[in-house]
């Protein structure tokens, strides 16, 4: 398998990259780590006549941190987050998520910005940045723009990015030191895109809960958040309460869930909540 | 810009220059233009690990890596990990434990296992399995592969020459 003929450009500034994208129009694609784009080019699922490689733009590989937030450039790899090379605003959640993305060879190349730009519904960073209340930043012919991560995705593979926009970075507020989290994703084969995913973050009397790997954008679970904020420990009676809250949340979202998807999502959510309360996640055999 | 371009990089310690097309992947260039057949294209989607090589010291799936991107980089393949006289300890361990049947996936496993031992010099079974989940062995030699990695870890820790290498050099 091999990609079709294409032109390759490696700009060194964001402005130059946007110019190359504008010139290329619909036939131009941004490439960063290429861990989703190259397979799609290999399979000829995507036709691109022009690749604009943002890997040569120094500022997009950087990160910065202060006591309120961490800014991560779009070309920072999953591996850099996994091994703690980048400051962690999330009390360990982001390194944990990064370590479970695909495989090590993919983590060595794949980038947080590339993953968000593609917006595969099962991409871990979509749900993680939404749960952390991050801000996604991009630049295009009309200048710089940004939005909260939970408003970035409209539908599967469809984001606020216009065809000539470049996602430049993610701004993530630091969690309070006492914040706890839990996350669980369900994969039939280790390393594949998840069939269901949930993430819960609790800090003091507030919680945030999201479902990922849906048919579109991550779903915020407001009923579940209210419920979980009162949990101080896990009790068996909580299972029924969480199930009710989840069903109310899914009804509110207006999204279609098959019985199987509902069961899978509920399993992920229950395990995430338990984990956020200090329980070790149930470990699948051999992983 | 759709024409071939000459790139220069270091391949297994030696400088090379190659004329490549923009759409060419690293695995194509290595196997077709440079006649290095150790890394193999199998799935072409980054799912099997058979094409694993190192670029600037990190493992990558060379089927998902455009050849042009290695311009100026340092590339190491399975052909470049021995020192000329002796196989790498991980290669020795795979041979001694018999961690393969057909051998198609073996170069990818060995490259990944070496990186694993750099990160986790004394890995647990879980760490080995987690690090190697991107490598598929259709003969299912997984138990032996885990054993081979552990043997290689002990050899590296002890700094001892592998027995087979001693035999070969005797």
Q: Which residues pair with B59 in a beta bridge?
A: B54
Tokens 């087979």, located at residue? B164
Q: Are B38 and B104 in contact (CB under 8 A)?
A: no
Taking all residues of chain A, what is their mean pLDDT, rounded to a whole number? Answer: 95
Q: How many helices (H) and strands (E) does chain B have?
A: 6, 5
With an 8 Å Cβ cutoff, is A43 touching chain B?
yes
Segment B4-26 mean pLDDT: 96
Tokens 């220069």, located at residue? B8
Residues of chain B within CATH 1.10.150.120 domain(s) are: 89-161
Nearest CA in chain A to B119: A83
Q: Which CATH number fits domain B5-80: 2.30.30.110, 3.40.640.10, 3.40.50.300, 3.10.20.30?
A: 3.10.20.30
Output the 3-class SS for A207-228: EEEEEECCCCCCEECHHHHHHH
- Structural domains in chain A, CATH included, are 7-56 (3.30.43.10), 58-173 (3.30.465.10), 180-276 (3.30.390.50)
C-alpha of B103 from chain center:
13
Whether B140 shows a pLDDT value over 90: the answer reads yes
Paired sense of beta strands A7-9 and A50-53, if any: parallel
Q: Are B33 and B20 in contact (CB under 8 A)?
A: yes
C-alpha of A180 from chain center:
19
Q: Are A8 and A45 in contact (CB under 8 A)?
A: no
With an 8 Å Cβ cutoff, is B14 touching chain A?
no
**Do residue A4 and residue B64 have CB atoms under 8 angstroms apart?**
no
What is the per-residue pLDDT for A285?
52
With an 8 Å Cβ cutoff, is B1 touching chain A?
yes
Q: Are A52 and A11 in contact (CB under 8 A)?
A: yes
- Chain A closest CA to B129's CA: distance in Å? 6
Whether A154 shows a pLDDT value over 60: the answer reads yes
Segment A152-179 mean pLDDT: 97
**Do residue A286 and residue B25 have CB atoms under 8 angstroms apart?**
no
What is the per-residue pLDDT for A273?
97
What is the per-residue pLDDT for B158?
87
- The pLDDT tens digits for B73-124 are 999 999 999 988 999 999 999 999 999 999 999 999 999 999 999 999 999 9
State both tokens at A213. 């790997």
Whether B167 shows a pLDDT value over 50: the answer reads no
Whether B170 shows a pLDDT value over 50: the answer reads no
- Output DSSP code: residue A278: T
What is the per-residue pLDDT for A287?
45
Residues of chain B within CATH 3.10.20.30 domain(s) are: 5-80
Whether A284 shows a pLDDT value over 80: the answer reads no
- The pLDDT tens digits for B49-81 are 999 999 999 999 999 999 999 999 999 999 999
| Among B129, B130, B137, the residue to mutate for chain A (most A Cβ within 10 A) | B130
With an 8 Å Cβ cutoff, is B131 touching chain A?
yes
What is the per-residue pLDDT for B160?
60
Q: Which CATH number fits domain B89-161: 3.10.180.10, 1.10.150.120, 1.20.1050.10, 1.20.1250.20?
A: 1.10.150.120
Q: How does residue B165 score in pLDDT terms, banded at 50, 70 and 90?
A: very low
With an 8 Å Cβ cutoff, is B44 touching chain A?
yes
Which chain A residues are Cβ-neighbours of B130 within 8 angstroms?
Answer: 99, 190, 287
């Amino acid at each position: 398998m091999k990609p079709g003929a294409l032109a390759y450009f490696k700009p060194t500034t964001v402005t130059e990259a946007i110019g190359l994208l504008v010139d290329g129009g619909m036939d131009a694609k941004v490439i960063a780590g290429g861990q989703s784009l190259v397979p799609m080019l290999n399979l000829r699922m995507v036709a691109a006549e022009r690749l604009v490689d943002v890997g040569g733009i120094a500022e997009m590989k950087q990160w910065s941190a202060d006591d309120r937030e961490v800014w991560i450039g779009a070309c920072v790899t999953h591996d850099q987050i996994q091994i703690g090379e980048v400051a962690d605003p999330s009390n360990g959640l982001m390194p944990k998520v990064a370590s479970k993305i695909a495989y090590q060879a993919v983590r060595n190349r794949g980038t947080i910005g590339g993953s968000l730009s593609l917006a595969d519904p099962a991409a871990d960073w979509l749900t993680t940045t939404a749960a952390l209340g991050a801000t996604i930043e991009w630049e295009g012919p009309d200048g710089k723009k940004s939005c909260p991560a939970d408003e970035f995705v409209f539908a599967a593979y469809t984001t606020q990015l216009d065809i000539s926009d470049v996602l430049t970075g993610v701004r993530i507020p630091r969690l309070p030191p006492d914040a706890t989290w839990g996350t669980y994703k369900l994969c039939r084969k280790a390393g594949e895109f998840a069939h269901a995913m949930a993430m819960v973050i609790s800090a003091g009397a507030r919680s945030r809960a999201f479902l990922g790997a849906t048919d579109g954008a991550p779903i915020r679970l407001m009923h579940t958040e209210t419920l979980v904020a009162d949990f101080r420990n896990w009790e068996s009676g909580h299972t029924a309460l969480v199930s009710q809250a989840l069903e109310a949340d899914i009804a509110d979202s207006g999204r279609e869930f098959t019985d199987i998807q509902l069961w899978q999502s509920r399993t992920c959510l229950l395990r995430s909540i338990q984990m956020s309360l200090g329980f070790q996640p149930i470990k699948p055999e051999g992983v | 810009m759709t024409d071939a371009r000459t790139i220069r990089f270091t391949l297994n310690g030696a400088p090379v220059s190659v004329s490549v097309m923009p759409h060419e992947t690293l695995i194509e260039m290595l196997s077709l233009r440079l006649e290095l057949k150790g890394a193999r294209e199998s799935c072409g989607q980054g799912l099997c690990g058979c094409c694993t090589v190192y670029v600037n010291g990190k493992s990558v799936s060379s089927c998902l890596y455009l050849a042009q991107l290695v311009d100026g980089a340092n590339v190491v393949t399975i052909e470049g990990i021995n020192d000329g006289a002796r196989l790498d300890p991980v290669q020795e361990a795979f041979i001694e434990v018999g961690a393969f049947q057909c051998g198609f996936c073996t170069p990818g496993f060995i490259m990944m296992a070496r990186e694993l031992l750099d990160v986790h010099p004394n890995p647990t079974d879980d760490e080995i399995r987690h690090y190697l989940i991107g490598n598929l062995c259709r003969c299912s030699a997984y138990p032996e592969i885990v054993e081979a990695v552990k043997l290689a870890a002990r050899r590296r820790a002890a700094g001892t020459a592998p027995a087979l290498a001693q035999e070969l050099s005797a």
